[in-house]
A and B are shown apart, each in its own frame.
Chain A
Amino acid sequence: MAEPTGRINRRNLLLTAGAGLSSLAIGSATTPAIAAAPAFLRQEQTLRIAFEGTAVDPLDQQLADGFKEQFPDANIEFIPIQGTDWNEYFAKVLTMIASGTAPDIMSVATEGTQLFASQGLSTPLDDYVKRDQAELEEYFADVHPSLVEAMMYEGSLYQLPRDFNAANMYINTTLFEEHGIDYPATDWDKDTFYQIARTLTAENGGPPFGYGWTNRLWGSWMPWIFVNDSNLLTEERAPGGEWLWDAFYADADDTVQRGGGWRWEAPQANAPANVEALEFVVQMAQEGITPSVSEGGGDLLQGFFTSNSLGMTPAGGFWAGGLNEAGMTPDAFDVQYFPKWKSQRHQFGTAGYVILESSQAKDLAWEFLKYVVSKPAMELSFGGNFSTPVRRSMLTAEQYSPTGPQHWEVFYGTLDEHPETAPIPAPPQANEMTSIFMRYTGLALTFSQSPQEALDSMQAELEELFAQEG
C-alpha cells in the first residue's frame, strides 16, 4: 500500500504560526504608544483615581460620596496599586499609561512629582488655579509655601498638596523613662542624641536599640545629610512661579525667596559632609546602637518601636496614627525636632493628586482636586492621624489627643521654625537615583565598603546616570 502523502506538516504549521506572531510583534513594536481608551468606551463623567495601597478604604468611599453630592453625574472609581514603596507604585502606573488604561488622577508624592511633570504626563494646574483664585485663597492661606513650592516644576504647579511628613525624631518614652532621660530640648544636638542612643542600647548591643532607620530615600540617613547642611544633589530654585506667590503669599510672613520649584541637577554624593553623615550612622551600626537596616516602608521598624525594642527613629506625622493603631498609648511615644548638627535643616516629603495629561475629564478632575483639599474633606481623610495634613489649622491638641504625640506642634513647627527645611531630592530620574542610593547605603551598612568607598562609587554611578539623562 502506498504511504499516505500530503499530510498537514507539523513543522510548517508551527513555522507559519511563528512567522505570523513575529510580524504581529514587530508591527506592534513600531506603532506609536497606545493612546488612552476612546471616550465613547468609558462611562461619561467617570473619574479613575489611582493611589498606592492594597484596598479602597471606607473613608475614600465617603470622600467619593461627598463629591457626588456636589456632582451627582460623577462616578468615582478608586484603583489601589500595590508597591513596596513609591518607586514601584510609579512604575506600575507608568505601565498602565503605556497600555492605554491610564487613570484620570493619581496620588503622587515628592518622589514622583518631577518624574511625571518632566515627561509631560501630568497636567499643569496654573490656568485652573488662576481661574479659581478666589475659591482657593482660603486653602493657600492655610498651607505653608514650602509645601506648595515642592509641588512645582519649572514655574508651574502640578499638585495641590494634601499631606506632608518631615523627618522628625520619634522617641519611645517608655525606654526614656526607664533610663531616666528627659524629653530633649528643641535645639538638642548630634552629640546629645548619640549619648542618649548609646544609653538606650543594651550592653553588648541591642535589643533594645537606641536608634534605627529604614533604607529608602525619605528618612534613612538623609536627615543626617540635611542637618549637616548638605544634600545628595546640588539644589537650586527654578525661575518663575511669581503668578502663584504674588496671588496667594504676597502678604505672608515668608522669609524665603520662593521660585518655580526645585532643580536637582548634579550629584554630590561624596561631598565631605555626606561622607561624615554616613560615617556617623555606620559607626552607630558597628557599635550595635542600630539594628540591621532593611529596605521598605518602615513596617518592621514600627514593630520594633511598638515592642519597646527601639528607642528613637526618624519618622513623620504618619507614625502617630500607625503607632496608636499598633497599640501604643498617646503617652508611650513623643516627637522632637531632628538633632542639630551644622544646622537643623529638616527634610520632608509631600503628596497630592495629579491630573494625568491623558485624562478625558480634566475639568471634573480639577473639581475633585479642589474638593479633596477642602477642609471638610481633609478632616474626613486625616482624622486618624495617618499622615500630617498640609492645613495648619488642622493640627490642634484636640486632633492629636486620641493618638499622640504630646508635642504634635513639632510637625508644623518644622516648617515654621526651620524655614530652610526642604523636600528630599527628587529629580525626574528619582527612580534610578533611589536605586543607586539604596544599593550603596546597603553596602556601607553591611560594612562591605567603607563610607568613603560607597559614596565614591555612588557618585560615579549618579554622574553616569545624570550624563545619560542630560
Chain B
Amino acid sequence: MAQTTHSPSAPAARSGPIGWITENSLAGMARRRALLGYLFILPSLLGVLVFTAGPVIASFGLSLYQWNIIDPPTFIGLDNYERLANDTRVLQSFVTTGQFVVLAVSLQLVVSLLLAMGVQSLKQTGLRYVFRTAYFLPLLTSAASISIVLAYMFHQDFGVINYYLGKVGVARIPWLNSSTWAMLAIVLTYVWQQIGFTFIVFLGGLSGISRDVLEAADLDGATGWRRFWDITLPMLSPTLLFAAVIAVIGALQVFAEPFVMTNGGPGDATRTVVMMIYESAFSFLQIGYGSAIAVLLFVVILLVTALQFRLSNKWVFYQ
C-alpha cells in the first residue's frame, strides 16, 4: 500500500487565498513579500486613488453629462465636447495659457539656473545657505497672498512699481489694464513665486556634476561660456529635462495669479484654461462642461509631456 509521506515539521497545506499566501514555497515567499510591500504603500495609494485618480476618472464621467448640481445629471454623450470645439473663448484660453507657459517657463528655467550657478560658486557655506533660503522662500508662501500684494504693487496709479519707475522718468505702465502688460505682470509674479523649486533642482544637479570632469575641462582650456555650453549644460541635461517637464505641467495649470490679479482680464487677455474650468463649473454651474474642458486640458498636458520626452532623445545625455 502506497504511503503518502509528509515532512514531520511541515504544516498541512491550506486551500484558498490564505493557502495561496501562506504557501511554503519560493512563490509563496515572493507573494508574501509583495503583499507586505503593497500594505506599506497602501495609505499613499489610497490617497492617490481617492483624491487624485478618483476625481480624474469622475471628471471623465461627468464630462458626458449635463449637470447644474441642483437638478439630477442628464446624460448627453459627447455634446459637451462638440460645444467645446466651437467655443472660441475656451479655445482662446488654451492659446493664452500656451503663451503664458512659453514666457513663464523660459524665464523660470533661465533665471533659476543662473541663480543656482551663482550660489554654487559661492565659497562661503554660510552665504550659500542664506541665498538658498532666500530664493526658496517664496515657494513656501501662498500664491493667492502673493498675488494680492503684487496686484497692489502693479496698480497703474497707486502702485509702488510705477512710483519708482516714475522717479527715473518712465511713464506709468498699465500693468494690469493692458492685454500685453497684464500677461507680463502675471508671468513675473508666477516666476518669482515658483523659481525656488527649479532653483533647488538645478542646485542639486550642479552638485552632481563630477569635479574631475570640470577640472579636466579646465586643463583642456574649456573655460567660461565654452565650459558651460559644452560640459556643464550637457551633464545637467537630465536635470534640465526634469525641471522643464515639471515647470510646464505646473504652468499649464496656472490659476491663482491671473484669478486674483486680473480675473482673466482685460476681457479674456489673461484668462487661462483652469479659470475657464472654474468659471464653467463653479460660477455658471455647468459641471459637465467644466469637466469636459478639464479632460481636454489633461490630454494636452499628456501630449506636451510626451513630446518633451520624445524630443529629449536629441538633447539629453545620460551618463
CA distance A226 to B65 in the complex (A): 41
CA distance A294 to B73 in the complex (A): 37
| B35 at interface by CB-CB < 8 Å | yes
Q: With a 10 A CB-CB cut-off, give which of B35, B57, B174, B176 has the most chain A CB atoms.
A: B57
| A306 at interface by CB-CB < 8 Å | no
Q: In B57-111, which residues have CB < 8 Å from any A CB? A: 57-58, 60-62, 65, 67, 69-73, 75
Interface string of A68-104 (1 = CB under 8 A from B): 0000000000000000000110010011011000000
- Asked if B38 and A446 sit within 8 Å, CB to CB, the answer is no
CA distance A434 to B70 in the complex (A): 21
CA distance A60 to B49 in the complex (A): 42
Contacts A18-B53, A29-B62, A29-B73 given; indicate if A439 touches B156 (C-beta within 8 A): no
Residues from chain B with a CB closer than 8 A to the CB of A88 are 283
Residue of A nearest to B291 (CB): A29
- Asked if A431 and B69 sit within 8 Å, CB to CB, the answer is no
CA distance A25 to B64 in the complex (A): 12
Residues from chain B with a CB closer than 8 A to the CB of A2 are 26
> What is the CB-to-nearest-CB distance from A316 to chain B, in angstroms, rounded to a whole number?
23
| A219 at interface by CB-CB < 8 Å | no
Interface string of B127-152 (1 = CB under 8 A from A): 00000000000000000000000001
Residues from chain A with a CB closer than 8 A to the CB of B38 are 8, 13
| A218 at interface by CB-CB < 8 Å | no
CA distance A33 to B73 in the complex (A): 8
Residue of B nearest to A449 (CB): B267
- Asked if B73 and A30 sit within 8 Å, CB to CB, the answer is yes
> What is the CB-to-nearest-CB distance from B36 to chain A, in angstroms, rounded to a whole number?
11
- Asked if A29 and B65 sit within 8 Å, CB to CB, the answer is yes
Residues from chain A with a CB closer than 8 A to the CB of B31 are 6-8
CA distance A448 to B181 in the complex (A): 13
| A195 at interface by CB-CB < 8 Å | no
Which of A17, A33, A448 has a CB less than 8 Å from the CB of B267?
A: A448
Residues from chain A with a CB closer than 8 A to the CB of B75 are 30
Residue pairs across A and B with CB atoms within 8 Å: the count is 128
> What is the CB-to-nearest-CB distance from A238 to chain B, in angstroms, rounded to a whole number?
22
- Asked if B267 and A25 sit within 8 Å, CB to CB, the answer is no
Q: In B12-48, which residues have CB < 8 Å from any A CB? A: 20, 26-27, 29-31, 34-35, 38, 45
CA distance A339 to B265 in the complex (A): 30
| B263 at interface by CB-CB < 8 Å | yes
- Asked if A7 and B30 sit within 8 Å, CB to CB, the answer is yes
Residues from chain B with a CB closer than 8 A to the CB of A32 are 72
Q: Which residues of A contact B (CB under 8 A)?
A: 1-2, 4-8, 13, 17-18, 21-22, 24-26, 28-33, 87-88, 91, 94-95, 97-98, 119, 121, 206-207, 209, 291-295, 300, 304, 309, 431-432, 435, 438-440, 442-443, 445-446, 448-449
Told that A119-B70, A431-B283, A448-B179 touch, could you supply 15 new A-B pairs with CB distance under 8 A?
Answer: A4-B26, A4-B29, A8-B34, A8-B35, A17-B49, A18-B49, A22-B61, A25-B57, A28-B58, A33-B71, A95-B69, A291-B157, A295-B263, A300-B155, A431-B285
